């Protein structure tokens, strides 16, 4: 049971919006949102993990998923990640405020 919990935590942190935008380089976040075909044009660095998660939700459904099917399996995972990202973003707020001032938002071209 302990191993399963550790694997679940590793999977969640690997896809965590805060990890994607703060710990990795900007291009990783840009590539992730481009791959999902998100409609977001930029992600602010302040609460960037939460913004990344909302950009993930603001993407078209993957091919083969019925748009009338409201039981999309990815939505609960993204919402759980949004809670975790919100907490991590709050802890990292001094750093992300500094990065926003120095580097500006992460622009998705």
Position 5 scores a pLDDT of: 61
For 95, other C-beta atoms within 10 Å of its C-beta total 12
Question: Can you name the residues that pair with 107 across neighbouring β-strands?
Answer: 42
Is the confidence at residue 74, as pLDDT, over 70?
Answer: no
What local confidence, expressed as pLDDT, does residue 59 receive? 81
The confidence score (pLDDT) of residue 64 equals 56
**Predicted local distance difference test score (pLDDT) of residue 31:** 93
Mean pLDDT across the chain: 82
State how far the alpha carbon of 9 is from the alpha carbons of 23, 38, 40, 64, 81, in Å.
Answer: 16, 25, 27, 28, 11
**Residue-range definition of the domain harbouring residue 83:** 2-107
Number of domains in the chain: 1
Predicted pLDDT at 81: 87
Q: Is the pLDDT of residue 69 over 80?
A: no
Whole-number Å distance between alpha carbons of 106 and 54? 14
């Amino acid at each position: 049971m302990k191993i399963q919990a550790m694997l679940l935590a590793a999977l969640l942190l690997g896809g965590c919006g805060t990890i994607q935008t703060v710990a990795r380089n900007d291009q990783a976040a840009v590539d992730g949102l481009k791959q999902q075909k998100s409609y977001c044009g930029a992600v602010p660095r302040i609460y960037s993990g939460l913004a990344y998660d909302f950009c993930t939700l603001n993407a078209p459904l993957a091919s083969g998923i019925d748009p009338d099917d409201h039981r999309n399996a990815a939505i609960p995972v993204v919402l759980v990640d949004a809670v975790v990202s919100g907490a991590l973003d709050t802890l990292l707020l001094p750093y992300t405020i500094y990065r926003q001032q120095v580097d500006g938002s992460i622009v998705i071209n």
